Amino acid sequence: MKPGRAATFGKSAAQLLVGCVRQVVTARPRTEPDAGLLEAVKQWQQVFEHNPVMYFMVDPAGTVINVNTFGAAQLGYKPAELIGRSVLDVFFEEDRDFVRTCVALCLKTIDQSHTWEIRKVRKDGSVLWVRENAKTMLRANGGPIVLVACENITERKEAENALRQSEAYLAQAQELSHTGSFGWKAATGEITWSKETYRIFQFEEGTKPEIPLMLERIHPEDRLAVQRTTGRAAREEKAFDHEYRLVMPDGSIKYVRAVARAMRDANGHVEFVGSVTDITATKEAERKLRDSEQRFRDYAETASDWFWETGPDHRVTQISEHSDTIAAPAGLIGLTRWDIAPDADLEPEKWQKHRAALDAHVPFRDLVYRSKDRNGKPIYVRTSGKPFFDADGVFLGYRGVCTDVTAAIRTNQAEEALRRAQAELAHVTRVTTLGELTASIAHEINQPLAAVIANADACLAWLQRSPPDLKAARRSVEWIIEDGTRASDVIRHVRALAKRSGIEMVPLDANVVVREAVALVQREMASHAVSVRMELSSALPKIFGDRIQLQQVLINLIMNGIEAMEDVNDRPRELTIRSGTSGDGAMLVSVSDCGFGISEQAIDRLFMPFFTTKSSGMGMGLSICRSIIEAHGGQLSAAPSQERGATFQIILPLHREETS
């Protein structure tokens, strides 16, 4: 700091203050200042320096000729740093023209006060808002000087800015949320609207909002309700909340919701302050939701299934509304599934598994259990369910669907019973057939036994020779063993046929099955003078089936063929058995005879149970044969043979490994 300047400053400050204190000393003559005057100047200088108002004295060129310590300090300077500089230095570049204009105006209008608000820049670059009060005075030498007193209004300005900002935010928020605000003084009818409210009602901003204008916009069907609601609110001075429709200038419909609260203004009058929201989109979404809910309700109500919901304790909380029109059990609410299932104790394992799934909160599928319908009739129910949770993942229960599967279960049970009865019957007829085959079987066994005896005799004879012919004796014994084995094979086979054994599906060679069956009826054929012709394809793929059952079918067909040729005397009684594969990968086995054949009337009924044309016949054979073949996934059909007689054809699928 230059002392010279400080001295100048001190002098001119004192000089300038002379003007200010003129009134104080008007009584004094214009001579050298006396001690009293100097004292007054000093005091005023103190006031000038430390009064918390920023004072600037600027010459017509804009140079700072004085500034008080407070004023300089407010800008981060010492007075000496500012004195002699252009006052423009403490203003923003862009504000400087304005400052020049203001100073010029002051200079033009001596002794008149002017006020303006402007920003100043501190030494550190920060901003200060001030209100400047300026006035040009004439100095003792007649030169003009601009005195400026500034008041720091930064806080107010910041508050104003914040307010402006929050108003802007509010406007933004209103626009984004499609919510406008309004005020309504019920007594005077005065209405104020926010920008967004104007937008919602589609009125030009600035149009005076009046009730008739609003009513015009409101859908004619809703006008009365709106008037009633607002009228009652005004009378009772109570809050209101209502929804209504607007008809926009383009004819479109807008849904709005207006909510207002009653308040009292400064004069104690009721004033409503509220918001109005455009809820058209929400309404539309609600409508769509309602439509789709209705759709699902329609589906649900037309289904014979019923829907249920259980709580965290697995007790039923809800059940489809229409459940009373269908088989669903009644009075389920509050009960668990195992409370109502009479099989809960009978099948503990099933229920333990089910409850473990529920406790693990995993979905379950197709649980079938016994229950009772609303009339107490036993029913079978099949149910599947899925757990549901709240937004935090807390388990709330299960939702699912139940189906009455009684009919299906009963059908299954009936089919099972039928299957059992058929197997039983097949067994009985097999045993019956074996009874009929006694002669054949005896013959089958007798033959090797006779051979055994003959060979044993021969063996003895070889041994009795001198010397004994051991080689020949050994050969005889080997033949004995062979024949013995053959006899025992026949017995084993017959026992297998007679035994009530479960079905055993295995890969089979069709030709072997045919040969074994033929072996058992050999004698029967011989006694009826029937010859058999086997046309078996070699190297056949395997089939998959039960050996005993398939042999039963073949024996049945062969026996029927023998019987059909009983009266044939004019030609050889010949039975032909063929095997082979069809073009489309199936096994074909056929049994043809040249007997009396099948009449037109009989062809459709052959396979019916109890259809027989024989005096001692039972009429069950073919029906059982067909069910056996069908259980193997095949077909059994009958047709007249080419010349005379009948042909029965079996079609069987090949063993899967063979087809691939």
Tokens of 217: 């916009």
Q: Interface residues with ligand ADP (CB under 6 A)?
A: 560-561, 564, 593, 595-598, 602, 606, 611-614, 617-623, 646
Looking at beta carbons only, is 400 or 595 nearer to ligand ADP? 595
Q: State the nearest-atom distance from the C-beta of 649 to ligand ADP, in Å.
A: 12
Phi, then psi, of 608 in degrees rounded to 5: -75, 140
Provide the minimum distance between the beta carbon of 504 and ligand ADP in the complex, in angstroms, as a whole number: 25
Q: What is the C-alpha to C-alpha distance for residues 564 and 591, in angstroms, rounded to an integer?
A: 12
Q: Which residue is nearest to ligand ADP (CB)?
A: 621
Between 62 and 640, CB nearer to ligand ADP: 640
- Residue 137's beta-bridge partner residues? 145
Of the pair 237, 436, the CB lying nearest ligand ADP is at: 436
* Cβ 513 vs Cβ 554: under 8 Å: yes
**Edge-to-edge strands, sheet with 395-404:** 316-319, 306-310, 395-404, 378-389, 364-372
Upstream peptide bond of 467 is cis (omega within 30 degrees of 0): yes
445 contacts 491 by C-beta, under 8 angstroms: yes
User: 121: burial class by Cβ within 10 Å (0-12, 13-18, 19+)?
Assistant: middle
Name the residue nearer to ligand ADP (CB basis): 230 or 552: 552
Least distance (Å) between residue 379 CB and ligand ADP? 40
* Nearest to ligand ADP of 384, 612 (CB atom): 612
Nearer of residues 511 and 612 to ligand ADP, judged by Cβ: 612
Per-position DSSP letters for 197-239, written without gaps between them = HHHHHT--TTSPP-HHHHHHHB-HHHHHHHHHHHHHHHHHT--
What are the residues facing 589 on neighbouring strands? 579, 650
Q: Within a 13 Å sphere around the CA of 534, how many CA atoms are in the beta-carbon half?
A: 14
Backbone angles phi, psi at 329, to 5 degrees: -60, 150
User: Smallest distance, Å, CB 608 to ligand ADP?
Assistant: 8
Smaller CB separation from ligand ADP, 230 or 627: 627
Closest to ligand ADP by CB, 423 vs 559, is: 559
- Confirm if 571 and 594 have CB atoms less than 8 A apart: yes
Smallest separation (angstroms) from ligand ADP to the CB of 563:
7
- In the 3-class helix/strand/coil scheme, how is 433-500 assigned residue by residue? HHHHCHHHHHHHHHHHHHHHHHHHHHHHHHHHCCCCCHHHHHHHHHHHHHHHHHHHHHHHHHHHHHCC
Nearer to ligand ADP, 197 or 440 (CB): 440
Cβ proximity to ligand ADP, 60 vs 619, nearer residue: 619
HSE-up of residue 207 (Cα within 13 Å, Cβ side): 14
Measured from the CB of residue 612, what is the shortest distance to ligand ADP in angstroms? 3
Q: How far is the CB of 433 from ligand ADP (least distance, A)?
A: 10
What minimum distance in Å lies between the beta carbon of 590 and ligand ADP?
11
Closest CA to 519 of 511, 480, 589: 511
CB of 520 to ligand ADP, least distance (A): 17
Shortest approach of ligand ADP to residue 428 CB, angstroms? 13
